[in-house]
Amino acid sequence: MDYKVRLLERADLNRVYEIEKECFVNPWKFSDIEYELSENPVNKFLVLEVEGKVVGFNDFMITFNSATISQIAVTKDFRRKGFGTILLNEMEKYFPNEGDDVVENVTLEVRASNEPAIKLYEKHGYEVVVKKPHYYPDGEDAIYMVKRLMLCR
């Protein structure tokens, strides 16, 4: 299957918003996604194209020695085909790897009920750190996970 991962462009906003609404219980507003593209100075937003159509994305931030995954999503028809792994691997290519801002840790929160996502993250070296009770607006708990990229400098 022919795919490409690239940075989000303004022309992708409507499609990313459609994926957002399909994939998340409490989807972000269109304006939130637009903010990530236009105004958040520490944000990176990757989109995954399969045969020319955007079918997934990874929205993450890099701040000093840490990165945080804000959201990662793949449409239902393209799940369980390795695209989540591709988005995680492509994200790491954007991490500074020399100087003072080398990314040492990647963090995220994931719904406690989202077992497929938790398994994907664990497969890629993320570890459960703590459960955050009633984290989401509907009262569901979040699992806070971290991947340690550097144990010492």
Q: Where are the alpha helices (DSSP H) in the chain?
A: 13-23, 30-38, 83-92, 115-123
Report long-range pairs for 82-85 (Cβ below 8 Å, ≥24 apart).
83/3, 83/48, 83/50, 83/55, 83/56, 84/56, 84/117, 84/120, 85/120, 85/123, 85/124
- Name the DSSP class of 99: S
- Tell me the catalytic residues: 109, 121
